[in-house]
Amino acid sequence: MSRQFTDLQLERHLCGDLSSEELAEFDSTASAEDKARLSVLREEGAAFLEEVGVHKQAVAIRQKVQTKPRGFMMLAPFLVFASAAAGLFLYLSRPGSTSEAPEFQTKGSDLRFRVHLATAAGSRALMPGDTVPQNAQLRFEVVHDKPGFVAIVGVDSANVASVYYPITGTSLSAPYNPAQSELPGAIELDDTPGTERFYAVFSVTPFDAQVFGQQILDNAVLASDLQVVVVPVVKSE
């Protein structure tokens, strides 16, 4: 029996991002090849995290947390989450960066992604799984070392895909300049409760964001030139 699940679905499985229905489907339909590939991804993720020292950093932070101010304590769950995700997300603090916001990166990708929530005090960066109010306003930040093309696609709990960037009404990906990581404009979420997954997509060549969204809904194999990072956010009821 051939594989029934893509690598993206398997990495979501490792991250704990599958719904109970999706987990049940995996348990009942996953082939031996799927399970073997899942084991490989788990081992690769563990090796990757060991290579970048995430586990050691988390231990060091836990040892120091008693002597640090409250703001510093927030780093510990960032790194613990990265370890638990087995490489799907990695929290990064780049040398020379002036931003305190967390970045998330898919193992093996050069693409980093931040989601910012508008607040009365300005804005704050969201962690995967954070809860936000319905009709919250979000803006996006994409970090990559190369010029190319980007899009932001959301898939909500009703399994509806929406193109959030570009905001011009076109589904064609927008040109990306590495010197301008903050994408222009902001979006307002609808009132559909539950988890919405935000996908940052990058390629060196133009691509159709609506086609990408449909491929996610269809669990189709994605083009090999696409780099993707997903951050799930929970909309309160």
**pLDDT tier, 63 (very low <50, low <70, confident <90, very high otherwise):** very low
**pLDDT tier, 38 (very low <50, low <70, confident <90, very high otherwise):** confident
Whole-angstrom Cα distance, residue 80 to residue 85?
A: 9
On the CB side of 122, CA atoms within 13 Å amount to 2
Which domains, from first to last, does the chain contain?
1-88 (no CATH), 92-237 (2.60.40.2550)
Model pLDDT, residue 116: 92
**pLDDT tier, 62 (very low <50, low <70, confident <90, very high otherwise):** very low
Query: What tokens does 228 get?
Result: 């993707």
Give the pLDDT mean for 221-231.
Answer: 90
Query: pTM higher than 0.85 for the full model?
Result: no
Q: Which residue has the higher pLDDT, 66 or 19?
A: 19
Residue 207 has pLDDT above 50, yes or no: yes
CA distances from 13 to 26, 48, 73, 154, 175 (A): 9, 17, 28, 18, 32
φ, ψ of residue 40 in degrees (nearest 5): -65, -45
Q: Which residue has the higher pLDDT, 186 or 61?
A: 186
Query: What tokens does 49 get?
Result: 């995290």
**pLDDT tier, 79 (very low <50, low <70, confident <90, very high otherwise):** very low
pLDDT (tens digit per residue) in 139-177? 999 999 999 999 999 999 899 999 999 987 678 999 999
Span of 10-24, 53-67, 150-164, 191-205 with lowest mean pLDDT: 53-67
Model pLDDT, residue 108: 53
Decide if 135 contacts 190 (C-beta within 8 A): yes
Helices (H) and strands (E) in the chain, counts: 7, 11
Of 148, 208, 226, which is closest to residue 180 (Cα–Cα)?
148
The H or E element spanning position 9 is helix 7-15
